[in-house]
Structure formats: structure tokens, C-alpha cells
Structure 1
Amino acid sequence: MHSQTNLIAVVLLAALVHEGSAIWCYRCTSATPGCGENFNWRGIGFLGEHCPEPNDICVKLIEQRGAQETITRDCLSALSFRKDIPADKYEGCRPAAHDEKLANYVNHTIKEHDVKRDYFTDTKFCFCFLDHRCNGASGLQVSALMGLLALATALLLR
């Protein structure tokens, strides 16, 4: 009985620590080895960074044009300069928002600047905030806290 009480205390402590601190996210682009679609955190050489905002969200941004794919993993606050972030930022992936007025008043012919953000034909934002470093996954991850709760429940019911 004493070990069950300790296990419950550890799970509750993990829940409090998880909510009290800023989230950790991977911050890299697919130009970095290990940061592409086949993500390998050992290849990028670090375990993520604290996001600057206390209620930040981890983001995996996928931009595609034909066979070319660019993946950016970062905190949402670091991508605040973008005007195509979807309004719905709950867990999951959604297409980028379209801004009709983006770059209407820019008049130059340097297409590499991509001021209208129309180079990529498919842009998708994947948001996650239930677990640290969750933007490394190809899909959504279940929170580590939920895994601990499931383990604790299984041990208690044994």
C-alpha cells in the first residue's frame, strides 16, 4: 500500500511541475540534419529549448511545393511574424490561413523574397502543447502525464 501512495504522489507532483513551467520545444529546420520528416533528436544535438512565453505552444510547420518539403519546428511565439497562422491553435494539424491582403502594397520583382508567401503550394501548421518537445513527432503524441496516469491506474487495479 505504501508504494501505491508513493506512486500517486509522484504522478501528482509531475502534474504540478508540468503545468508550472514553460514548455520545451524543438527549434530547428529541415536544413538541420535530423530535423526533417524522419526526426532524430540525437542528430540535431540538443533536447529542445524553453519557449519564451509562459503559455506557448510547440509548432511543426510543413511547407510543400511539389517534391520539395521544408519543415520548421519552433515555438508559436517565435513564428508570430507570420500572417498565415490558423486561428484554431488546438492540438492537431491544419492548413495555413490565407490572407488576401498579404503583400499587396509591395512592388518589386525579386521573387526570392516571396513577400506574398505563394511559393509553397501547401502549408500546414501542427500544434501541440500537452507534452514537452512534442513537435518532434510525425503525428500527435499522448502526453507523458497521461501515460503515467494509465500506468498508475494499471498498478492500482492489479
Structure 2
Amino acid sequence: MSNRNVITLVVLALIAVEGNALYCYRCNSNSPGCGTPLNWLWYWGETCPEYDDKCVKIIERKGAETILTRECLSSVRGFRTDIPADKYEGCRPAAKDVRLGHYVNNSITQLDIHRDYYDEVTWCFCYFDHRCNGAAGLTISVSLLALIYFARGLI
């Protein structure tokens, strides 16, 4: 095996390790293929805008109706006030904002200004799983490819 091949494999491994973009599914269950189960052929995942982002799945239930929202945390942080304080890996109930809609005098009852339409809202955070990761799967693939290549040269 030549030195050129070894250098090429080392450079590929270093490039794969440096990938720090977080890929998350970004869709709503009202869209086809985004419900349960998720059709990953339609939604391959997109990169999140911030470097320290987390993937979230918001599960909103009202009776038999369930709405799933898959998104990056930084994308929903601007308009959702019910984000739990604990954002570690796992699922938690939504936070209750008692001041939300407090100073609004609105006679239209269909507007959900207090965000109390849903009986149960659950937030699930992930940043270690598949499609919630920092491109670590590519590093394993390049390392495995290098191992196979070196083993083939030894045989």
C-alpha cells in the first residue's frame, strides 16, 4: 500500500470527524408521511441553524386527536412559551405559562391565546440518536472502510 493511499484515508477520517451539523426531521403530522410512523424516505432530515441545537418532537393531544411536530429547538424557541426548562435527552410535559394572554381582552373564543386547547403537551428532546446526531455515523463508516482496506492489503 502506498503512502498516498494512507494519507487519503487519514484526511477522509479527519474530515468526517469535523462534521458538527445536527440533522433533525423538520415536519408536522398534518403533512403526509410525518405522522406515526415517520416515513424517512420523504423526510431525510435538515441541518439545524445553531451549532448547539437539539432536535425536538412536540406531541399535542386533545382527546383522540394527536398532532406531532418535529423541529429544531432554535426554530420553535421564538414563538413557543411552553418549552420545559430541562432540555436534556428525554420527554417532559410542557411548562405552564400563567401570564400568557393575561393582558389580552379578546372576545374571539376560537383563538388559543392562553395555549390551553390541548389536554396534554409533551416535549421530547434528542441530540444523541440517529438524525439527532453530529455526523458520528460517517466517522464509523470511514473507519470501517479504512480497516477493510488495510486488512485486504495484509491478506
Which of the five TM-score ranges fits, normalised by the shorter chain? 0.7 to 0.9
Matched, 1:50 2:47: yes
Q: Deviations over 1:44-82 (max 9, x none)?
A: x23111111111111000000110000000000111111
What SS is found at the alignment partner of 1:99? coil
Q: Deviations over 1:108-134 (max 9, x none)?
A: 122332010000010000001114524
Summarize the alignment of residues 135-146 of structure 1 with structure 2, pairs less than 5 Å apart. Answer: 145=137
Q: Deviations over 1:9-30 (max 9, x none)?
A: 787764443x3xx211111100
Partner of 2:40: 41
What SS is found at the alignment partner of 1:77? helix
Identical columns (%): 52
Partner of 1:72: 69
Matched, 1:112 2:110: yes
What SS is found at the alignment partner of 2:30? coil
Q: Distance in 2 between matches of 1:133 and 1:110?
A: 40
Scaled by the length of structure 1, the TM-score of the pair is: 0.72
Counterpart among 83, 86, 97 of residue 85 in structure 1: 83
Q: Given residue 22 of structure 2, which amino acid in structure 1 is its aligned partner? A: I
Asked if the contact 1:23–1:132 (Cα under 8 Å) also holds between the matched residues in 2, the reply is: no
Asked if the contact 1:93–1:125 (Cα under 8 Å) also holds between the matched residues in 2, the reply is: yes
Matched, 1:98 2:92: no
Q: Distance in 2 between matches of 1:144 and 1:111?
A: 48
Q: Distance in 2 between matches of 1:25 and 1:111?
A: 35
RMSD of aligned residue pairs (Cα, Å): 3.1
What SS is found at the alignment partner of 1:60? strand
What SS is found at the alignment partner of 1:83? coil
* Structure 1 unaligned regions, length at least 5: 1-8, 135-140
Scaled by the length of structure 2, the TM-score of the pair is: 0.73
Q: Distance in 2 between matches of 1:72 and 1:47?
A: 15
Q: Given residue 99 of structure 2, which amino acid in structure 1 is its aligned partner? A: K
Partner of 2:153: none
Aligned residues: 138
